[in-house]
């Protein structure tokens, strides 16, 4: 396990110089003369969150953007819960104004409350299919967020309740599908967007306690 984590950490560090914007891109406005993008966003995703992102468009035949994003839920302790996503997205299909993109991210998450601390490495794969104009776009989104391996560390309260409780690396620990719609408006070097959708556990028999997500965001290209 230590080897895997080392590789993930090294990979994360290596990817930072190449990573690019956050979540949503209007492929029609992301031209080669402005290949960098910063993003701020806010919404509900397993909690009320705020996020920032940075991205860079690669000079490749296939439009590819590498991304890095950090988000954290609101609350008194800002750094006890957070999520970092590193990865990229590519426009894999373009027919007139219709476009399909594929996204792949590595994820590191942290969660802590009075009873437990969770450190998770996961992945997210998703696709957007939609209609993109230079001023606006609308697309559907479908994806899968897999919690691959999680380190669980229980606090003394939990250990006092159950001395046999096992701290350690648990694999796998879960996964959620998500699906929704996205729409954005572009002006000058900026985009604003909103996306809304639902989430469900990987076998579709249960749902997260609050099974929806909502995000509004702003991109600035430079």
Partner 1 sequence: MKSKLKFICIAIIAVIAAFTFTGCKKELTLKEPGNLVPKTVTEDPALPAISVNGTKLHSETFGNPDSPMVVVLHGGPGTDYRSMLNCKGLADDGYFVVFYDQRGCGLSQRHDKNTYSLQLMLDDLTAVISRYRKSPVQQIFLLGQSWGAMLATAYVNAYPAAIRGVVLAEPGGFTWQETKDYISRTRKLSPFTEDTNDQFYFDQVLTGNKNDHTVLDYKMAIAAAFDSREGNALGNAGAYPFWRFGAVTQAALFEIANRDGFNWTTHLGQFTTKILFCYSELNKAYGPEHAGLVSSAYPNVQLERINGSGHEIPYFGWNNFHPLVKNYLDSFK
Residues forming contacts to partner 1 in the complex (CB under 8 A) are: 1, 3-4, 7-8, 10-11, 14-15, 18, 44-48, 58-60, 73-77, 81, 83, 106, 109, 111, 113-116, 118, 120, 122, 145, 147-150, 152, 157-158, 160-162, 164-166, 168-171, 173-176, 201-203, 205-206, 208-210
59 or 188: CB nearest partner 1 = 59
Place of tokens 């309740």: 161
Q: How far apart (Å, rounded) are the C-alpha atoms in residues 70 and 217?
A: 13
The minimum distance between CB 27 and partner 1, in angstroms, equals: 19
The minimum distance between CB 28 and partner 1, in angstroms, equals: 23
Tally DSSP H helices, then E strands, for the chain. 2, 11
Place of tokens 């230079």: 134
The minimum distance between CB 97 and partner 1, in angstroms, equals: 28
**Is-contact 25 34, C-beta < 8 A?**
no
93 or 172: CB nearest partner 1 = 172
The minimum distance between CB 203 and partner 1, in angstroms, equals: 5
Q: Which residues of 130-145 are buried (b: 16+ CB within 10 A; e: fewer)?
A: bebeeebbebebebeb
**Is-contact 110 92, C-beta < 8 A?**
no
């Amino acid at each position: 396990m230590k080897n895997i984590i080392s590789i993930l950490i090294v990979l994360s560090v290596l990817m930072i110089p190449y990573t690019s914007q956050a979540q949503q891109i209007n492929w029609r406005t992301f031209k080669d003369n402005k290949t960098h993008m910063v993003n701020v966003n806010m919404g509900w995703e397993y909690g009320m969150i705020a996020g920032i992102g940075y991205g860079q468009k690669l000079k490749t035949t296939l439009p590819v953007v590498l991304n890095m994003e950090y988000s954290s839920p609101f609350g008194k302790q800002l750094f006890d819960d957070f999520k970092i996503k590193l990865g990229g997205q590519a426009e894999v299909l373009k027919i007139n104004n219709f476009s399909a993109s594929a996204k792949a991210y590595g994820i590191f998450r942290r969660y802590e409350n009075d009873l437990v601390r969770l450190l998770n490495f996961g992945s997210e794969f998703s696709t957007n299919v939609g209609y993109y104009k230079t001023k606006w776009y609308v697309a559907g989104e479908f994806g899968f967020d897999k919690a691959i391996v999680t380190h669980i560390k229980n606090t003394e309260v939990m250990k006092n309740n159950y001395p046999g409780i096992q701290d350690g690396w648990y694999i796998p620990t879960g996964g959620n599908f998500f699906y929704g719609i996205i729409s954005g408006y572009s002006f000058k070097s900026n985009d604003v967007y909103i996306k809304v959708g639902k989430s469900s556990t990987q076998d579709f028999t249960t749902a997260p306690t609050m099974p929806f997500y909502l995000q509004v965001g702003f991109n600035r290209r430079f």
